[in-house]
Structure 1
Amino acid sequence: MPTLRNKVALVTGAARGIGAETSRALARKGVKLILIDLDAEPLKALAAELGDDVALAVAADVCDLPAMQKAVDSGVAKFGGIDLVLANAGIASYGSVMQVDPATFKRVVDVNILGVFHTVRAALPSVIERKGYILIVSSLAAFAPAPGLAAYCASKAGVEHFANVLRLEVAHRGVAVGSAHMSWIDTPLVQDAKTDLTAFNQLLAVLPGPVGKTSSVGPCVDAFVDALAKRKRRVYVPRWVALAGWLKAVVTSRVGDRNTLPHVPRILPLMDEEVAKLGRSTSARNVALDDVAVDPK
């Protein structure tokens, strides 16, 4: 049975949600952790909880390659190297392509795609040296489009294929690469969208079968820890998400569109109206963190 004890893992988006809970689970397995997030206070609190001998917290923006390289270098200096990478940092925007704030759309793409590239680029030399494993967090959204979430869907499809390319490039170096695909998980990202937008809740309500259901964080954490231990190529949470991946051509066909199209004329204008009233195209939490990224203290 593969063991994680004494491995060193770099986790982005580690301050909250899946990143934080996976970090706690990895610490219980004897893993040393390099924790990276832009949200400094909860990140520092998590590192303090886990202990200085277990975790190093580095507040950094994944969109800033020099900052990510500095974070990686600090982690390597403390723990000796990096065996595992969980590229988990991600955000979402709200609103139609016609109405979404262009700067917010760009920020989502920057965090979700460039942030993954910067994470991998900075950590890769050490991961190659240790013949390690990289798990890139994509989404069900890579397979199944959702109106009003174009930046999120496009970016998650992008990082899935980034993982596919990276896997080919580093296999001969002894490095394995996986991609993780989750449906809606009860994380701050989903919680904020539900709180901000009745339109988002209505969208979930009309999605077919289990696609609109929200799952708890626990099974996702278990799946991530298992993937990190076994160097899995694909991770699906819940497991039915695998079917959406296998049937992506059907999901994005005219047949697949039939379930969603009748609801778009009602839900999308409502989303745009609610976004306009909010005065922002993303969660209040992300707006605050964007201010930190623009003007770091």
Structure 2
Amino acid sequence: MNASAARVQRRGFFRPAPQVAGKRILITGAARGIGAALARQLHASGARVALLGIEAELLAEVAAECGDAPWRYCDIGDPDQVQRVVDSLTRELGGLDAVVANAGIAKQFSMLGGDPQVLEEHLAVNVLGVYYTLRAAGPHIAHPNGYALIVTSLAAAVHLPLAGAYSASKAAVEALGQTLRIELRHTGARVGLAYFAELDTDMTSRGFDTVAARSILARGRDAGMATISGIAPLGPAIDGMERALARRSRRTVSPYWVGAVLWCRPLAQRVIDYALRAGVEPGLDIARTERVSFTTDQPSRPRRMRRLA
């Protein structure tokens, strides 16, 4: 080996890419969609996964496909339950290297005239649930190899009509993740945020593919403004999450163009505002009578927020 090659090797250019093999990873919302696909791929890559969610039968099936991985029913809106389950699963894994805060819900919501409970439920699951997960898992990952990957959304940066509850919750999740990154830095642990647009999952089809939303988007296209890219395949997002877990990355996006949108949030929002304005009023009229459900049926839990008057 010549001197130049030796210098390159010392600098790490010949080192193999980081792998997830052997990592102990806890995934929330693992019964379907992103969580289930990620669990299967991580298991295939040699990671040891633990799963939690509220759809027990589906969760058991995913766990069986992941080498009989440990799993638990867990309502992430219940802080005591989250603490017990995370501690129990961590003991079964013999420690924790990473947590993926993925669980979340979505439902269309009009700011004026919408049911306040829809917003409250988004906050209970998408915000408090993520917080409870990170609060419980934080001490277990607070070490130099520790990592938290938090699933937020492009909706945290660019806001669409009828998605106010979901967008608000994901913006809050983004803030929690960025704060946790600073607060964990001294331990050596890292925090990453996953920003996704519409992916081919049940959340997209059940949460966002409504008659009212289609009406608004169609009028935007009729006006010659193609602001929405359509549903993207799930695979690249899962590949990106695996790379993020291996490298303890600060950010992962899917599709690729989401990264560019994040850099120009104000401009992107102005384009959305202009493109969709013609469809908002008729879309709101449809939303007032359209019956839609949450993307995942939620268990009853004590109300932790004051009902709006």
Same fold (TM over 0.5): yes
Per the alignment, residue 66 of structure 1 pairs with 80
Matched, 1:183 2:200: no
Quick check: 2:104–2:126 contact (8 Å CA) kept in 1? yes
Secondary structure of the structure 1 residue equivalent to 2:200: coil
- Give, in angstroms, the shift of residue 186 of structure 1: 1.1
Q: How does 1:136-285 map to 2 (within 5 A)?
A: 136-193=150-207, 197-205=210-218, 206=220, 208-209=225-226, 211-253=228-270, 256-274=272-290, 278=291, 280=292, 282-283=293-294
User: Could you tell me how far apart the structure 2 residues matched to 1:130 and 1:46 are?
Assistant: 30
- Give, in angstroms, the shift of residue 223 of structure 1: 1.0
Per the alignment, residue 289 of structure 1 pairs with 298
Alignment CA distance shift 1:167-1:125 (3 Å): same
Matched, 1:10 2:21: no
Structure 1 counterpart of 2:160, which letter? A
Pick the structure with greater CA Rg: 2
- Give, in angstroms, the shift of residue 149 of structure 1: 1.1
Per the alignment, residue 90 of structure 1 pairs with 104
Matched pairs, number: 282
Structure 1 counterpart of 2:213, which letter? F
Secondary structure of the structure 2 residue equivalent to 1:68: helix
Alignment CA distance shift 1:73-1:175 (3 Å): same
Alignment CA distance shift 1:140-1:188 (3 Å): same
Alignment CA distance shift 1:247-1:117 (3 Å): same
Quick check: 1:182–1:236 contact (8 Å CA) kept in 2? yes
Please state which structure has a larger fraction of its residues in helix. Answer: 1
| TM-score scaled by length of structure 2 | 0.86
Quick one: percent identity of the two aligned structures? 37
- Give, in angstroms, the shift of residue 259 of structure 1: 1.3
Structure 1 stretches lacking a partner, 5+ long: none
- Give, in angstroms, the shift of residue 199 of structure 1: 1.7
- Give, in angstroms, the shift of residue 251 of structure 1: 2.6
User: Could you tell me how far apart the structure 1 residues matched to 2:41 and 2:113 are?
Assistant: 40
Which shifted more, 151-160 or 261-270?
261-270
Alignment CA distance shift 1:135-1:28 (3 Å): same
User: Could you tell me how far apart the structure 1 residues matched to 2:256 and 2:229 are?
Assistant: 15
Quick check: 1:183–1:211 contact (8 Å CA) kept in 2? no
- Give, in angstroms, the shift of residue 69 of structure 1: 1.1
Quick check: 1:112–1:156 contact (8 Å CA) kept in 2? yes
- Give, in angstroms, the shift of residue 260 of structure 1: 1.9
RMSD: 1.8
Structure 2 stretches lacking a partner, 5+ long: 1-16, 303-309
Quick check: 2:109–2:119 contact (8 Å CA) kept in 1? no
User: Could you tell me how far apart the structure 2 residues matched to 1:11 and 1:89 are?
Assistant: 8
Matched, 1:112 2:129: no
Matched, 1:103 2:117: yes
Secondary structure of the structure 1 residue equivalent to 2:113: coil
Quick check: 1:63–1:114 contact (8 Å CA) kept in 2? yes
| TM-score scaled by length of structure 1 | 0.89
Structure 2 counterpart of 1:219, which letter? P
Quick check: 1:36–1:59 contact (8 Å CA) kept in 2? yes
Per the alignment, residue 65 of structure 2 pairs with 49
- Give, in angstroms, the shift of residue 37 of structure 1: 0.5
- Give, in angstroms, the shift of residue 200 of structure 1: 2.1
Per the alignment, residue 134 of structure 1 pairs with 148
